[in-house]
């Protein structure tokens, strides 16, 4: 067996125990549990990806021409078929654009999100992007999930965070997905990536079970496979993560799954995944010792609306409705189990979409878009101006706030690792944003 | 030249196809390397097509997946065709959930089989007018003055060039995306194929790769309303093939050569190696079979690295296990196992195909592999039948002989740590009566399950 260049792992897309070109060199001094004024003890972070490039302009919609730029008129001119009429926006109107003064509304398919907004739980972050917007889904996703906007993909921003704060035998992150998100790719961290926690069982031969002996043999074999003295390369890395996983099976089997009084009644993939996440969070509230799982990722797909995007109803409105219903129901579940002060939800998408609609009543790949941060302590309201519709770059909205500043703020103020973002997000602008209190 | 032996023959069968049973490996080991490669590549392309004539019938999508799974598990002389069809399904990844038409998915699968070993130019053309692809990437909605960039972007980024070259220099600009999209206007789906409708085609001048040495301007397109290809100087597929990277090398052969090398050998090969294996491909006018021949004849293909640095995808894992253990059955449950392990046929996660390497072993999918291992080992039904007696070497009197027989079938006898081998032997708990049905049903099947769950079976 050759010893394999660690770099190779990564480029195949490493998951269960991914390898990086350069280990991150900074001390573990800032433990994630270290008390910090801003956030709660044991913060929970739910990272929600809207896959395909969500059209921010039909998510946070200009309602009038107030201010220096006639945003509404420009919006209507660019989108004759997919514009959302002003008359439909009154019920989901939010605060005015903080700079331009334009009246703004969430898409009418998001009444639940508007409800949370009115309670001050939602920060709407506008004009988010990065310099040199790449219009490839896959490249732009590399940037967004990796927290770096150049060079080959070298691990996920959450994966880097886990590496810096945990040992490989900790399993503190759950990706409610079949395949792990690159956001969690890391050097040594082990992340549970599973669509349903109930799948987390070992199979048996029903006719001739011999279960205990098989289980013991499997554990013993993986102990050998995880021993660097006995094996190496890819085989060792599969052996190591398998060994960690097998050791956690009984603990995860104890989770009462499919719990979520509210999100259990919402429909769609995102709701299904949030139901798994809610089950694990609840388990950790009720059961001692807890699993300690506090970092979550899930996604909803289908935002790549090149055709028939829809205005009031249609593809994007259906998706936004799912996001709104699912997240609001999940939030209610968090309140019901009493952890709302420990939970922060952040949504992202790899890019926004072209301002002008295309020939298929859809929109092509674009640039700046919006994010939502939801939580008890977020500074609710509209943060950042919606980019001017009379100052486009190749037909796309110009960003004014780098997404890595959002991540830096989460790392510093929510995950309570002040200063860690400078190493985790190298070469990124780090100025804090005020959607989380300092 | 490498030493032609059982290890290398087994490796060739594992990578070029889906592995083989011991007698087959032995047969290939007895021939010469060149004749093995020739016999694998020689068959004429197959036009076999799966079931699926009933539109919008989800049952028949399952039938189609079952038909293909069985073909991959049983094809002998056309095993490379099936391996390549799987490659193209990942490369030109198309989702049934968007296309919603079984017949069109079935036709695309046939196209991969029929054109997947021949001219890459022809394959790109067939895919450009492929009904499933025209639906999936909105090509049917891309028309003059109302351009839809979806297919135009992906043909450059994912199918032919790549987003950037090895020096990080972008291969095309947003203007190129817009221009090539104009050249790809006009397609509608008519019956079983895409045709150009004159009034939808943008027949104005377009410019591709402005400012480069291979800049081309003209009334670029792909084919006429009669289905005749545009001449090479105005055919966008030919023009894409003239693209050169910042080293001055042809971009497409490096892009495709690298991807095929990674599929068949190991990740992240040196560019010098890629240039070697693509030389005949370039000289011969981009015939895919030439590229495969160069890969399978290259010494580096038989290196330790090529034998241990890739994660078997779920189809490779399941089918090579079935072949190695000579399991039988109608295999109708295979697509459901593929699904659990993360590789739902006809439903790749995106147009970028499946993430390769360790993402295959994300925990849920890893557990689904353990489940497949158990299902295969305890196969006693018409869907999958494994005969434990067959796996016991003649006159075996010790557990170690039985274990070594299983390890040898799976070709992991050299990579398994001795402690793990000992675990399998100890699992027999002193039983040596391999004619005793309870020993066969419990311990031999149990050892098969354990062996199939070891890390080295998931790696090649």
Q: Could you tell me the residue ranges of all domains in chain B?
A: 1-42+270-306, 46-241, 314-458
* Residues 6+ positions from B270 with CB-CB distance below 8 Å: none
Q: What's the rounded Cα separation, in Å, for the pair A281 and A290? A: 9
Per-residue buried b or exposed e for A189-200, using 16+ beta carbons within 10 Å of the residue's own CB = bbbbbbbbbebb
For B14: left if phi > 0, alpha if psi spans -120 to 50, otherwise beta; the answer is alpha
Chain A residues touching B459 at Cβ < 8 A = 234-235, 238
For position A198, what pLDDT does the model report? 86
Task: Return d(Cα B286, Cα B252) in angstroms, integer.
Answer: 10
Q: Cα(A76)–Cα(A394) distance, rounded to whole angstroms?
A: 18
Q: What is the pLDDT of residues A19-70, one digit of tens each?
A: 333 333 333 333 344 444 457 889 999 999 999 999 999 999 999 999 999 9
Please compute Rg for chain B using Cα positions: 24
Task: Verify whether the Cβ–Cβ distance B356 to A18 is below 8 Å.
Answer: no
pLDDT tens-digit profile, chain B (460 residues): 899 999 999 999 999 999 999 999 999 999 999 999 999 998 766 677 777 655 556 668 999 999 999 999 998 889 999 999 999 999 999 999 999 999 999 999 999 999 999 999 999 999 999 999 999 999 999 999 999 999 999 999 999 999 999 999 999 999 999 999 999 999 999 989 999 999 999 999 999 999 999 999 999 999 999 999 999 999 999 999 999 999 999 999 999 999 999 999 999 999 999 999 999 999 999 999 999 999 999 999 999 999 999 999 999 999 999 999 999 999 999 999 999 999 999 999 999 999 888 889 988 899 999 999 999 999 999 999 999 999 999 999 999 999 999 999 999 999 999 999 999 999 999 999 999 999 999 999 999 999 999 999 999 9
Question: Quick count: other Cβ atoms within 10 Å of Cβ B246?
Answer: 14
- Whether residues B441 and A207 touch (CB distance < 8 A) is answered with yes
Q: Is B138 in Cβ contact with A306 (below 8 Å)? A: yes
CA distances from B193 to A337, B96, B188, B351 (A): 56, 17, 8, 20
Asked if A202 has any chain B CB less than 8 Å from its own CB, the reply is yes
Residue A332, pLDDT > 70, answer yes
Residue B188, token pair as written in the block:
């509608």
The minimal CB distance from B359 to the residues A13, A220, A231 is found for A13
Q: Which residues of B78-117 are buried (b: 16+ CB within 10 A; e: fewer)?
A: bbbbbbbbbbbbbbbbbbbebbebbbbbbbbbbbbbbbbb
Q: How far apart are CA B357 and CA B364, in angstroms?
A: 15
Q: What is the pLDDT of residues A135-179, one digit of tens each?
A: 999 999 999 999 999 888 889 999 999 999 998 888 999 999 988
pLDDT of residue B45: 63
CA neighbor of A86 nearest in space, from A312, A414, A424? A312
The half-sphere exposure of B321 on its side-chain side, counting CA atoms within 13 A, is: 32
* Contact state of A194 with B438 under an 8 Å Cβ cutoff: no
- Residue A38 pLDDT: 59
Are A234 and B266 inside 8 Å of each other by CB?
no
Tally: H helices and E strands in chain A: 11, 11
> A375, A290, A276: which is closest to A45 by C-alpha?
A375
Give the predicted TM-score (pTM) of the model: 0.89
Q: For residue B57, what pLDDT is reported?
A: 63
> Does the distance separating the beta carbons of A239 and B149 come in below 8 Å?
no
Q: Best residue in B152, B417, B446, B460 to probe A by mutation, most A CBs within 10 Å?
A: B417
pLDDT reading at A367 higher than 80 = yes
Domains belonging to chain A, first-starting first, are 6-18+43-196+257-424 (3.40.720)
Which residue from B minimizes the CA distance to A16? B362
Contact call for B427 and A17, based on CB within 8 A: no
Mean pLDDT score of chain A: 90
Give dist(CA B4, CA B399) in Å, integer.
31
Q: How far apart are CA A83 and CA A70, in angstroms?
A: 15
Q: Which of A139, A360, A361, A363 to mutate to test the interface with B (most CBs of B within 10 A)?
A: A360
Give the pLDDT of residue B53: 59
Which helix (H) or strand (E) segment is A375 a member of? strand A369-375
Please give the Cα distance from A329 to A343 (Å, whole number). Answer: 14
State the pLDDT at residue A28. 34
Inter-residue contact B107 to B192 (CB < 8 Å): yes
| Amino acid A250: pLDDT | 87
Size of interface A-B (CB pairs under 8 A): 239
Cβ–Cβ gap A359/B438 under 8 Å: no
Please give the C-alpha separations between residue A170 and each of A5, A104, A167, A282, B123, in angstroms, as whole numbers. Answer: 25, 44, 6, 19, 48
pLDDT value at position A19? 36
Q: Is the ipTM of this complex over 0.95?
A: no
Element (H, E) at A236: helix A233-253
- H or E segment to which residue B60 belongs: helix B58-74
Q: What percent of chain A lies above the pLDDT cut of 90?
A: 78
- Model confidence at A253: pLDDT above 90: no
- Is B361 in the A-facing interface, judged by CB distances under 8 Å? yes
A295-300 and A44-50 beta bridge pairing: parallel
Reported as a single tens digit per residue, the pLDDT across A298-310 is 999 999 999 999 9
CA distance B454 to A225: 8
pLDDT at A257 over 90: no
Are B218 and B206 contacting, i.e. CB atoms less than 8 angstroms apart? yes
Q: Does A362 touch chain B (CB under 8 A)?
A: yes
pLDDT of residue A40: 83
Percent of chain A scoring above 70 in pLDDT: 91
Token pair recorded at residue B167:
């020096």
Maximum pairwise Cα distance, chain B:
81
Residue B128 CA to residue B51 CA, distance in Å, equals: 23
Residues 6 or more apart whose CB falls under 8 angstroms from that of A77 comprise: none
Token representation of residue B91: 């490369």
Q: Which helix (H) or strand (E) holds B88?
A: helix B79-91
Residues 306-345 of B with CB under 8 A from A: 308-311, 342
Which residues touch A5 (CB under 8 Å, ≥6 apart)? B268
Question: Cβ contact (<8 Å) for A242 and B266?
Answer: no
Q: Chain A: nearest CA to B45, how far in angstroms?
A: 30
Is A359 an 8 Å CB contact of chain B? yes
State the first-to-last Cα distance of chain B, in angstroms, to the nearest integer. 21
| pLDDT over 80 at A286, yes or no | yes
A274, A177 contact by CB (below 8 A):
no
- Asked whether the bond before A289 is cis by omega within 30 degrees of 0, the reply is yes
Q: What phi-psi label fits residue A30: left (phi over 0), alpha (psi between -120 and 50 degrees) or beta? A: beta
Six token digits for residue A358: 């295309």
């Amino acid at each position: 067996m050759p010893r394999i260049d660690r770099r190779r792992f990564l480029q195949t897309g490493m998951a269960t125990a991914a390898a990086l070109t350069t280990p991150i060199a900074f001390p573990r001094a800032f433990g994630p549990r270290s008390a910090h004024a801003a956030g709660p003890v044991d913060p929970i972070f739910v990272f929600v990806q809207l896959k395909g490039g969500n059209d921010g302009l039909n998510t946070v919609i200009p309602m009038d021409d107030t201010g220096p730029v006639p945003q509404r008129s420009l919006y209507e001119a660019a989108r004759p078929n997919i514009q959302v009429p002003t008359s439909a926006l009154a019920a989901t109107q939010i605060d005015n654009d903080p700079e331009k003064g334009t009246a703004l509304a969430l898409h009418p398919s998001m009444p639940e999100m508007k409800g949370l907004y009115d309670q001050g739980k939602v920060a709407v972050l506008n004009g988010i992007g990065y310099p040199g917007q790449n219009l490839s889904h896959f490249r732009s996703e590399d940037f967004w999930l990796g927290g770096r906007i150049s060079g080959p993909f070298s691990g996920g921003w959450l994966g880097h965070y886990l590496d810096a704060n945990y040992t490989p035998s900790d399993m503190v992150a759950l990706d409610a997905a079949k395949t792990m998100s690159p956001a969690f790719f890391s050097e040594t961290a082990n992340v549970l990536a599973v669509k349903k926690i109930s799948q987390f069982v070992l199979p048996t031969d029903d006719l001739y079970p011999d279960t205990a002996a098989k289980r013991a043999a499997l554990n013993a074999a993986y102990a050998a496979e995880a021993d660097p003295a006995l094996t190496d390369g890819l085989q060792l890395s599969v052996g190591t993560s398998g060994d960690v996983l097998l050791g956690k099976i009984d603990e995860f089997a104890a989770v009462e799954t499919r719990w979520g009084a509210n999100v259990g009644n919402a429909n769609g993939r995102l709701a299904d995944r949030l139901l798994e996440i809610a089950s694990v969070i609840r388990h950790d509230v009720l059961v001692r010792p807890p699993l300690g799982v506090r970092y979550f990722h899930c996604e909803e797909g289908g935002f790549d609306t090149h055709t028939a995007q829809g205005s009031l109803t249609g593809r994007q409105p259906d998706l936004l409705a799912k996001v709104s219903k699912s997240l609001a129901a999940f939030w209610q579940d968090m309140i019901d189990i009493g952890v709302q002060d420990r939970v922060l939800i952040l949504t992202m998408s790899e890019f926004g979409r072209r301002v002008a609609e295309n020939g298929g009543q859809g929109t092509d790949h674009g640039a700046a878009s919006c994010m939502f941060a939801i939580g008890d302590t977020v500074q609710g309201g509209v943060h950042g101006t919606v980019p001017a519709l009379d100052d486009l770059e190749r037909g796309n909205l110009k960003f004014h706030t780098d997404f890595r500043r959002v991540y830096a703020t989460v790392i510093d103020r929510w995950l309570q690792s002040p200063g860690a973002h400078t190493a985790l997000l190298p070469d990124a602008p780090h100025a804090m944003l005020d959607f989380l209190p300092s | 030249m490498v030493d032609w032996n059982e290890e290398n023959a087994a490796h060739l069968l594992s990578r070029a196809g889906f592995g083989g049973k011991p007698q087959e490996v032995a047969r290939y080991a007895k021939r010469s390397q060149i004749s093995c490669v020739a016999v694998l590549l020689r068959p004429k392309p197959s036009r076999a097509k799966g079931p699926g004539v009933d539109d919008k019938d989800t049952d028949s999508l399952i039938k189609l997946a079952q038909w293909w799974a069985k073909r991959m598990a049983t094809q002998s002389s056309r095993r490379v065709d099936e391996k390549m069809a799987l490659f193209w399904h990942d490369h030109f990844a198309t989702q049934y959930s968007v296309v919603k038409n079984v017949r069109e998915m079935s036709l695309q699968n046939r196209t991969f089989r029929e054109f997947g070993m021949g001219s890459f130019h022809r394959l790109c053309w067939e895919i450009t007018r492929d009904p499933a692809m025209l639906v999936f990437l909105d090509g049917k909605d891309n028309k003059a003055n109302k351009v839809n960039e979806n297919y135009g972007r992906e043909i450059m980024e994912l199918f032919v060039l790549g987003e950037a070259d090895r020096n990080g220099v972008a291969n095309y600009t947003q203007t190129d995306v817009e221009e090539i999209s104009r050249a790809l206007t006009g397609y509608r789906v008519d019956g079983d194929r895409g045709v150009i409708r004159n009034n939808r085609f943008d027949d104005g001048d377009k410019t591709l790769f402005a400012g480069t040495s291979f800049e081309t301007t003209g009334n670029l397109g792909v084919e006429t309303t009669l289905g005749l290809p545009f001449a090479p100087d105005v055919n966008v597929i030919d023009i894409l093939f003239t693209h050169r990277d910042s080293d001055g090398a042809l971009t497409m052969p490096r892009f495709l050569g690298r991807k095929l090398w990674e599929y068949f050998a190991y990740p992240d090969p040196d560019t010098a190696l890629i240039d070697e294996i693509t030389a005949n491909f370039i000289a011969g006018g981009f015939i895919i079979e030439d590229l495969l021949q160069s890969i399978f004849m290259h010494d580096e293909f038989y290196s330790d690295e090529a034998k241990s640095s890739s994660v078997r995808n779920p189809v490779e894992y399941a089918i090579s296990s079935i072949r190695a253990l000579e399991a039988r059955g109608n295999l109708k449950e295979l697509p459901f196992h593929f699904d659990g392990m993360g590789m739902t046929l006809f439903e790749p996660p995106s147009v970028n195909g499946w993430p390769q390497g360790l993402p295959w072993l994300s925990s849920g999918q890893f557990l689904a592999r353990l489940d497949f291992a158990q299902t295969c080992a305890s196969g006693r039904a018409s869907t999958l039948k494994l005969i434990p007696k067959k796996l016991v070497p003649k006159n075996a009197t010790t557990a170690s002989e039985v274990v070594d027989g299983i390890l040898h079938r799976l070709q992991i006898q050299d990579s398994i740590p001795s402690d793990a081998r000992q675990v399998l032997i100890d699992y027999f708990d002193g039983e040596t009566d391999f004619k005793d049905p309870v020993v066969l049903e419990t311990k031999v099947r149990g050892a098969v399950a354990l062996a199939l769950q070891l890390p080295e079976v998931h790696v090649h």
